[in-house]
Amino acid sequence: MMTDEQLKQLSATTGQLLLQRRATVTTAESCTGGWIAKVFTDIAGSSAWFERAFITYSNDAKQQMVGVTEGSLQRWGAVSEQVVQEMAAGALKEAKADYAIAVSGIAGPDGGTAEKPVGTVWFAVVSSTGKQLTKSIVFQGDREAVRRQTVAVALQILHDDFLKI
């Protein structure tokens, strides 16, 4: 599991890649409650590449702030591929950013089901050029561990799959 220092280093490296591309990133966060944005803004000068964060913890916030449809929430639930795709697309549009990261998950200690156990997190990263990646991971550990691992994976996806040449 990444330490605070490792998260900061990954954030700084990601920021440098964004800066080189003259690109910006935004986040739509549910289970992380703004932790991805915090890691970005821990970096001095991040205002050059970090646009804004949408902390969409409730279903209403997901709908009002980033345009998730009520139908998607009812059909698939907040922790689903469809909803994180809508979160990322909505954040990208609202922030007019070049990249958007969206996460939604069940951090625990309760709230899990047989289909979506505690630790289930969906990720979506999209770019203004139309590239997108979604994935789901079931993390182990307590609430803190699930959330920390979610932040690390979200940063890693943006860094490795979208920015690294």
Q: Provide the percentage of residues in the chain whose pLDDT is more than 70.
A: 99
pLDDT single digits (tens) 57-114: 999 999 999 999 999 999 999 999 999 999 999 999 999 999 999 999 999 999 999 9
Mean pLDDT of 12-38: 98
* Structure confidence at residue 47 (pLDDT): 98
* Structure confidence at residue 130 (pLDDT): 97
Q: Which three-class secondary structure string do you get for the chain?
A: CCCHHHHHHHHHHHHHHHHHHCCCEEEEECCCCCHHHHHHHCCCCHHHCEEEEEECCCHHHHHHHHCCCHHHHHHHCCCCHHHHHHHHHHHHHHHCCCEEEEEEECCCCCCCCCCCCCCEEEEEEEECCCCEEEEEEECCCCHHHHHHHHHHHHHHHHHHHHHCC
Mean pLDDT of 133-149: 98
Asked if 28 and 54 touch (Cβ cutoff 8 Å), the reply is yes
Residue 118 above 80 pLDDT?
A: yes
Mean pLDDT of 11-26: 98
